[in-house]
Structure 1
Amino acid sequence: MMAARLSLAFRLALRELRGGLRGFYIFLACIALGTGAIAAVNSVSRSITDAISTQGQSLLAGDVRFELTNRQATPEELAYLSGLGKVSAATDLRSMARLPDGSDQSLVEVKAVDGAYPLYGTFEADPDQPLSTLLEQKDGSYGAVVAPLLLDRLNLHVGSELLLGNAKLRITGTIKTEPDAVSEGFGFAPRLLTSRDGLIASGLITTGSLVANVYKIRMDSPTVGLKNIADRSNKAFPQAGWSIRTSDRAAPSLADNITRFSQFLTLVGLTALIVGGVGVANAVRAFLDSKRTTIATFKCLGAPAFVVVMIYLIQIAILALIGIAIGLVIGAVAPLFAAQFMAQFLPISTAPTLYPGALLLATLFGLLTTLGFAILPLGHAREVPATALFREQGFEARRLPSWPYLLAAAILIAALAALAIVTAYDRFIAVVFVVAIVVSFIVLRAVASGVAWLARRSPHVNSPALRLAIGNIHRPGALTASVVLSLGLGLALLVTLTLIDGNMRRELTGRMTEQAPNFFFVDIQGSELDGFRKLVEGQAPAGKLIEVPMMRGRIVAFNGQDVTKMKVPAAGRWVLRGDRGITYSETLPENASMTDGKWWDKDYSGEPLVSFSNDEGKALGLKIGDKVTVNVLGRNVTAKIANFRKIDWQSLSINFVMVFSPNTFKGAPHAWLATLTDASASPQQEAAILKTVTNAYPTITSVRVKDALDVINTLVGQLATAIRAAASVALIASVLVLSGALAAGNRARTHDAVVLKTLGATRAMLIRAFSYEYLILGAATAIFALLAGSVAAWYIVSRIMHLPSAFLPDVAFSTLAIALVLTVGIGLIGTWRVLGQKAAPVLREL
């Protein structure tokens, strides 16, 4: 019996669909847009992460990578590495490259390689010659291949000479492809690649120099040899303190960032899909309202309510699948388009590839959203009485449908929320997102009800147009709820992202720039310290010079437990990723304040103690008395946490996660780090300081902070552009939903306009009335978007990013303008045709 009913419902559903898709174009667009955004974001993300996984050997330029900080491998360690396979050694550091006449200089990312580089992948240069030929020594100078950006900065060309430390380099070509560039991480300066002999001749590798010695190995049988390689190597040399990375995790930071960013964009796409869900509900309600006589006819002919509901549920499911299919096509081709723009920066394949997991996820989101928002209108349709065949009335939308439909809708929406949380990279953020969406819908409904309540109780106005507009806002079947729901979520998302971007840029170009030092000076040797100090004080007598000892160390254990085997919260994970700068001090640093514990005495000589950054320490679950083990120069040092400090990282002053008691590293070789702060220094004076220090001390690395901030600001701008583009998808969905809501209300508007015109109203008066109505609704929506977006942006900026948050008036005005233009513009476009309707056909149907 059930099978027969379903078969009948399926046949009738297909027969009704022969009439075309009129009334469902907004429905299809909403589903296609949201599904396409989710499918595209996840497909592109999967293409990058898969490339990192499958091309790991080329991206790492080896099967396994061992990195040692501030020291080279010992003969015993090198013998062990050679036993694993063919070894290629490289040294990475930052330094200053300068013109031979000392007239100009630039910070560079130096990479010195041996003849075995690269073990995998291909290094390409212009001109196309073997790397060994390009780097060979001739006539007392060493060959160097550089990034084209360095030629532009120093106005050089292939064949020019420059100085690196004490070595003379000859530019023999420019870098086209560096196979392991992605796995090496982000650099603030252009690349300069030379031989290891050239780097040794430069004199940059001295005691305490901030260098990374990297040993990459091509193993004879990597599938077997890579298994537990980190555990075996650490067991063989427990004090080595090396960082080990295998080709299956060639670029973990990049992969994590891509995954994290794709999660964020997925949530933005899901917002667009949920906004589209409002459009789905509106479209289904309008469609079923237009079919009320058909539904009543089915009931008069004895069709059970179950069959009636299934007829339209099948139609909605078919239409949803069409919209989802359009979205999946968008998602499938997205990696191909993305590859055209990102292939030069990221390892993304240009070959056509489908990512079934990403497409399946988008399909599930699309189906759950469609059914979750369509089920309640279907429940209303079930209640249409047979008498509606003889009367012009629709189903009463204000009364809730029966409990099975409410339960089904709740289950579907809960499944949608669960899917968003389960598939998220950071489930806490996903939970916050889901809660925010639910609260937004509740608040938006409350805003719509509040506007209608105020309109109902507003005082009498003399203007007929304004009086009509106010009446339209609170009457039965008003557009108030539809308009507020349609635009509110999309505008709130846009306000949130714009405020976050604005506050970040404000911090980078405002307070951070004002507070930050002018220069960082790195790798100052103890023998150079006095001379360097006198030179800087002579160049900047009004400046403040701060010097601290600096070493590099990597946290290897907490309370004796290996940190690589610990589950670390995301907020503190960066502290354990790679090496950290560490220092020692007798007194509390002047730019920090104690939050817990006490500082050690100046002449303390007991157990090694350490002061830990408060926020990072608490994120890692540390407390006073815990033991931290750090590997420095190949030796494990364990210290007890004596106190926690509050650090203002945004000041860009000299800050360290860990400050040790002086006795911890007594006698250990190290260099010094210094900052120079001079608020009165002009760009010309800064250039003179940079030139003087670089020429006098070529092995000291000088970093102009403003240049680094400019690089970060550019990256933030590019990131903001991508985020705004994604957010615009949600806004487009809002516009589509708004258009659909207004179109659905045109039938009632047509009747109203004809009756009013018959009673003497002019077209101009009706246009004013509709304009007032849309202005009021647009302003109410804009106020909600501003409040909700401001609260969300404040929370993210101040509580997650730990930056000062401020309200930006230009965002308020632009949001208000967008809301009013959309509501009034789209509203008048939709009602213009209504105002031109002839009276007779409409009056005959009343």
Structure 2
Amino acid sequence: MTGNPASTAFRFAWRESRAAFKNFKIFIASLFLGTAIIAGVGSVTSNISNSIEEDGRTFLGGDVQISLTQKRLTPEERIFLEKRGELSEIATLRSMAHTTDKSSLVDLKGVDTHYPLYGELELEQGDYGPLMLGKQGGRWGIILSEPLATRLGISLDGDVKLGTKLYQVRGLIKKEPDANNQGLQLAPGAIVALDSLFDNTLIKPGSLVRYHTRIRLFDGVALETFRDELKESFPDQAWRVRDHNSGGSSLRRFVSRMGQFMTLVGLTALLVGGVGVSNGVRTYLESKTDTIATYKILGATSRTILLIYLGQIMLIAAFAIMAGLLVGGLLPLMFGDVLKNSLQVDLEMGLQIKPLILAALYSGAIAAVFTLWPLGKAVQTPAARLFRQTVSPKGRIRQSLPYIVTIGGIGLCLLTLVVYTSQFKAITAALLAGTAVVFVILYGAASLAKWLAKRLPRPHNPIFRIAISNMYRPGNATNSIVLSLGLGLILFTAVALIENNMIREINDRVKGDAASFFFIDVQKSQKEVFTRYFEEREGVESYRMVPNLRGRVTQVKGVPSKDVKAKPEGRWILRGDRGISFSATPPPNNKIVAGEWWPEDYTGAPRVSISKQMADAMDLKVNDEITLNILGRDFTLPIMSIRDFDWESFDINYVMIVDPNTLANAPFTYVGTAKTVADQEPEIYRELTGRFPSVSLIRTKDVLGSALEIMAKIATAIDFMAAITIMSGILVLAGAISAGHRTRIYDAAVLKIVGATRLDILKAYIIEFILLGLLTGGIAILLGTVAAYSVIVFVMEMTWLLPVYIPVNTVGVSILATLAFGIVSIWLAMSARPAQVLRNA
């Protein structure tokens, strides 16, 4: 072979590639699937993130938002803001909505006539105008979300009672511009006029209400200048200030996390598919041994042969990758309308180049890594040995150091790229490391199984002897089957066990000591009547009521809260307002682990008791000081005790409890719980909502229903990951069994010659695939159970149970998958005529 080696290699590669596509079906499918997932998820995520960033003002409701708890802006503060922009004030709180025969908790939003400053409030019928919520015929107007209207069984012009006032339903919400700015909602929403809240009994001293003032800055007022002037003019104000750059931040974080999660799904599918790539390349090269040997005899160097087949395979890989990029890139355009409706976002869907480039790089690197390994061995094998390669394991060529270094370098670059481009680098690195460890364990387990099968005493039954020998003979599919199905089945097992244990734990708590109801905003004047009802009502097993206020941690040991270095699990305590209570006695479910509780008749200086979680997160000890801002007033409180308790007890727990003397005269409300007999719960609920319409009542069943719904969505997403991984594994499994098809035909022909019947051969192969299915399922059960146990016991600190049906399902899926694809190969192998097979061997 003369001339330029590269051009010669390319010419031969192009010539052979036209006929090679039929041998790379699994190869193409594996790369296509992973590429399409990564490209599609990246494109959708980028489109959503860009749309959210562009519409930050709409999501926030203004250029700037200033939030306060339980108090409004002072006249001085309003004058300052009005000089710099147009204002809109809203208030948010939870209340109870009542019709003639139904009641529901509602997340209520009171708006002024300037709402919304940005975007539009869209209704199912008609157009929104500020006068729609005004007082007409003695009734205020209300606009309901569709879930609330459904729950109450009410339509337009119907009446809803909030507090002591009737509101007329004047619209149903189709799209709320600032819906994604409202955080976690425990109940469906509704919108009323802000003034109506003060005309009602919904807002009283101590009521848990948050006020948000939104500012649309005048032209010429720079955002940074505004924030600096605000801080300079009101340096001690404990409000929360957000600007449009953080609008939709929670949705953006959610989309980014889900995008990263799904990208890892695609990458995992690519890694599993890499086994299929390697199998496809190895099988193809085995069919080309004569051609490669001929090249070598004619003087072709190993480098030339490498370039021929690497170029050929990468051309086919490029075809698969381009097809995946095409489908992934078009995904946002195909599902744009669905995403708009589900996310309540004005999405501008378009082609995103960056995620397509990343998907191509990921897929190209995977294709190169899994191609170079079998290709490197093939081109280094002497021509004479190539003819013996498939029938004799002796003298196999070891991979040379340059190939190992090259493959390792490409793999390292791939991992670095994935971690570098990830928004959550530590989590991504941990997941990739975990996946690598699982692959190593699966490969080791498969190799150990082959080693043991080879050294087991030979069974007297020839059928079993053939089945076991098939697991380690040359060209066996043991490694490929275990690797291809193993990862997906591990995920399947782990998710099923975690979900089962979490649901069981929640249900056990509900049936045990969990409260039937939570109630909030019980006024001081209502406490005695409320308490008397529970004491006298038959069917009430227990109840508890505690004072409740809201406050914010402003300093920890003299350090401003924004500068406190807290551990991740405790940072939430420093963000925003927290519930605070006071008590003369320790809560019944709390254990004092440091310090002591104050006397019941304590009248001394201010003191606080904190949770062990807060102490551990911020390295706090007894006598250290924290500063709380409660209702605009700062309290510097030495720590008198540290408490430990179970957050999952469905009881009332507080991170911070102040002594009873310090806050006794502050405006506060009561919150509480009540445990009732199950069959009387509906009747008690109706009585409470009827007698105390201004008290917000939450049924534990509703909260748990929402929690289980969220769990179900998360589990569905992870199930989807497992399904994609299993799908990729099944493609690899099909390729692995196809790769050994020629060997099985030859073995079946020989067995027929020596007297074996079709039934004997069928039994041997079925036993082989059942053993491989049991092996893969057993490994998946072991690793999946360890993963689930670690999450349940060490992360969630729950009790552990192992339901038998989940491992049984795992083994069943494993055996069925191997049998389903193996049976095709078995049938074709048995149908070949021995004379023809041996003549062509």
- Name the TM-score class by shorter chain: over 0.9
CA distance in 1, matches of 2:486, 2:9: 37
TM-aligned CA distance change 1:673 to 1:399, over 3 Å = farther
Matched positions, count: 840
Which secondary structure state, in structure 2, belongs to the residue aligned with residue 260 of structure 1?
A: helix
**Equivalent in the alignment of 2:25:** 25
Secondary structure (helix, strand or coil) at the match of 1:553 reads: strand
Q: Deviations over 1:211-265 (max 9, x none)?
A: 011111111138x532265554344323322122211211222222222232222
In structure 1, how many angstroms separate the alpha carbons of the residues matched to 2:503 and 2:778?
Answer: 24
Distance in 2, matches of 1:584 and 1:361, equals 55
Q: Which moved more, 1:511-520 or 1:2-11?
A: 2-11
* 1:636 alignment partner, SS class: strand
> 2:553 touches 2:561 (CA, 8 Å); kept in 1?
yes
* Structure 1, 556-565 or 57-66: larger mean CA deviation: 556-565
Aligned partner of residue 4 in structure 2, secondary structure: helix
Question: Shift in Å at residue 469 of structure 1?
Answer: 0.3
CA contact under 8 A between 2:540 and 2:674: conserved in structure 1?
A: no
2:167 paired with 1:169: yes
Contact 1:48 1:347 in 2 (8 A): no
Q: 1:456 to 1:264 in 2, by over 3 A?
A: same
Change (3 A) 1:95 1:10: same
Task: State how far apart, in whole Å, the 2-side matches of 1:742 and 1:231 are.
Answer: 68
Secondary structure at the aligned position of 1:261 is classed as helix
Query: Is 1:61–1:119's contact at 8 Å kept on the other side of the alignment?
Result: yes
**Correspondence 1:246-395 to 2 at 5 A:** 246-348=243-345, 351-388=348-385, 393=390
Q: Which residue does the alignment assign to 2:669?
A: 671
Amino acid at match of 2:28: L
Q: Which residue of 2 aligns with 1:590?
A: 588
More moved, 136-145 vs 541-550:
541-550
Give 1:588 shift: 2.9
Q: Once the 2 structures are TM-superposed, how far is the Cα of residue 538 of structure 1 from its aligned partner? A: 2.0
Tell whether 2:45 aligns with 1:45: yes
- SS of 2:89's partner is strand
Aligned to 2:516: 518
Distance 1:108 1:122, change over 3 A: same
Is 710-719 or 594-603 further displaced after alignment? 594-603
Pair 429,300 (structure 1): closer, same or farther in 2 beyond 3 Å: same
Could you tell me which amino acid in structure 2 is paired with residue 332 of structure 1? G
Letter in 1 for 2:789: W
| Structure 2 counterpart of 1:357, one-letter code | K
| Partner Cα distance (1:372, 1:512) in 2 | 52
Give the drift of 1:277. 1.1
Cα shift readout 1:461-487 (whole Å, capped 9, x = no counterpart) = 343222210111122332211211111
Does the CA contact (< 8 Å) of 1:240 and 1:635 recur in 2?
A: no
Q: Deviations over 1:363-388 (max 9, x none)?
A: 22212222222222122113210224
Deviation at 1:94, TM superposition (A): 0.6
1:144 is aligned, of 136, 142, 145, to: 142
| TM-aligned CA deviation for residue 460 of structure 1 | 3.9
Q: Which segment is superposed worse, 519-528 or 113-122?
A: 519-528
Query: Which residue number corresponds to residue 843 of structure 1?
Result: 838
Q: CA separation in 1, counterparts of 2:181 and 2:162?
A: 25
Give deviations 1:589-648, integer Å, cap 9, x for gaps.
Answer: 222224445444545566644333333543455555554333321233333444443331
Residue 699 of structure 2 corresponds to residue 737 of structure 1: no
Relative to the length of structure 1, the TM-score reads 0.94
Task: State the 1:345 CA deviation.
Answer: 3.0
- Give the aligned partner of residue 530 of structure 2: 532
Q: Which residue of 1 aligns with 2:704?
A: 709
Q: 1:774 aligns with which of 769, 774, 787?
A: 769
C-alpha distance 629-805 of structure 1, shift in aligned 2 (>3 A): farther
Shift, 1:110, TM fit? 1.0
Give yes or no for contact 2:612–2:644 (8 Å, CA) kept in 1.
Answer: yes
Q: Per-residue deviation at 1:518?
A: 0.9
Distance 1:429 1:126, change over 3 A: closer
Provide the identity percentage. 37
* 623-632 vs 663-672, greater mean Cα deviation: 623-632
Q: Which amino acid is the alignment partner of residue 508 of structure 2?
A: G
| 1:278/1:563 CA distance change after superposition, 3 Å | farther
Q: Partner residue of 2:68?
A: 68
Q: What amino acid is the match of 2:249? A: P
Letter in 2 for 1:150: L
CA contact 1:336–1:351 (8 Å) conserved in 2: no
Give the match for residue 746 of structure 1: 741
Is residue 2:783 matched to residue 1:785? Answer: no
For residues 442-453 of structure 1, the aligned pairs below 5 Å read 442-453=440-451
Structure 1 residue 761 and structure 2 residue 769: aligned? no
C-alpha contact 1:93 1:212 (8 A) present in aligned 2? yes
Per-residue deviation at 1:352? 3.7
CA contact (8 A) 1:239 1:631 kept: no
* Equivalent residue, structure 2, for 1:504: 502
Alignment match, 1:16:
16
Mapped contact 1:536–1:693 kept (Cα < 8 A): no
Check the 8 A contact 1:59/1:183 in 2, yes or no.
Answer: yes
Counterpart residue number, 1:36 = 36
Q: For residue 241 of structure 2, what is the amino acid of its counterpart?
A: I
Q: Measure the CA separation in 1 of the matches of 2:673 and 2:651.
A: 8
CA distance in 1, matches of 2:391, 2:345: 53
> Deviations for 1:341-360, whole angstroms, at most 9, x for unmatched residues?
33223145554412222222
1:436-585 alignment, distance < 5 Å? 436-512=434-510, 514-540=512-538, 542-564=540-562, 570-585=568-583
Aligned to 1:615: 613
1:57 is matched with: 57
Deviation at 1:76, TM superposition (A): 1.7
Within 2, Cα distance between the matches of 1:716 and 1:625? 40
Give the Cα–Cα distance (whole angstroms) in 2 for the partners of residues 353 and 535 of structure 1: 60
Contact 1:268–1:730 at 8 Å: present in 2 too? yes
Task: State the Cα deviation string for residues 713-764 of structure 1 (Å, max 9, x = none).
Answer: 1232233223312321111000000111111111111111111112222222
Tell me by how many angstroms 1:826 deviates. 0.8
Change (3 A) 1:813 1:457: same
Counterpart in the other structure of 2:433: 435
SS at match of 2:65: strand
Alignment of 1:237 with 2:226, yes or no, is no
Which deviates more from structure 2 when the two are superposed, residues 113-122 or residues 615-624? 615-624
The question of whether the paired residues in 1 share the 8 Å contact of 2:391 and 2:474 is answered with: no
- Residues in 1 aligned to 2:351 and 2:618: alpha-carbon distance in whole angstroms: 39
Contact (CA 8 Å) 2:32, 2:323: kept in 1 or not? yes
Where 1:665 maps in the other structure, the secondary structure is coil
Cα pair 2:534 2:540 within 8 Å, conserved: no
Instruction: Tell me how far apart the structure 2 counterparts of residues 742 and 337 of structure 1 sit (CA, whole Å).
Output: 36
The question of whether the paired residues in 1 share the 8 Å contact of 2:610 and 2:657 is answered with yes
Residues 416/592 of structure 1: CA separation in 2 closer, same or farther (3 Å cut):
farther
Q: Does 1:820 align with 2:815?
A: yes
The answer as to 2:830 corresponding to 1:830 is: no
**Matched residue type, 1:302:** G
Q: Mean Cα displacement is larger for which, 504-513 or 306-315? A: 504-513
Moved more, 834-843 or 770-779: 834-843
Question: Are positions 1:113 and 2:111 aligned together?
Answer: yes
Partner Cα separation in structure 2 for residue 810 and residue 616 of structure 1: 40
1:799 aligns with one of 768, 783, 794: 794
Q: 1:764 to 1:692 in 2, by over 3 A?
A: same
CA distance in 1, matches of 2:452, 2:244: 64
- Structure 2 residues without counterparts, runs of 5 or longer: none
Asked whether the 8 Å contact 2:51–2:348 carries over to 1, the reply is no
Deviation string, structure 1 residues 817-846 (Cα, Å, up to 9, x no partner) = 100100111111123212212223321233
Structure 2 counterpart of 1:630, from 620, 628, 636: 628
Cα deviation, residue 205, structure 1: 0.6
After superposition, the Cα gap between the structure-2 partners of 1:234 and 1:555, relative to the gap in structure 1 and judged at 3 Å, is farther
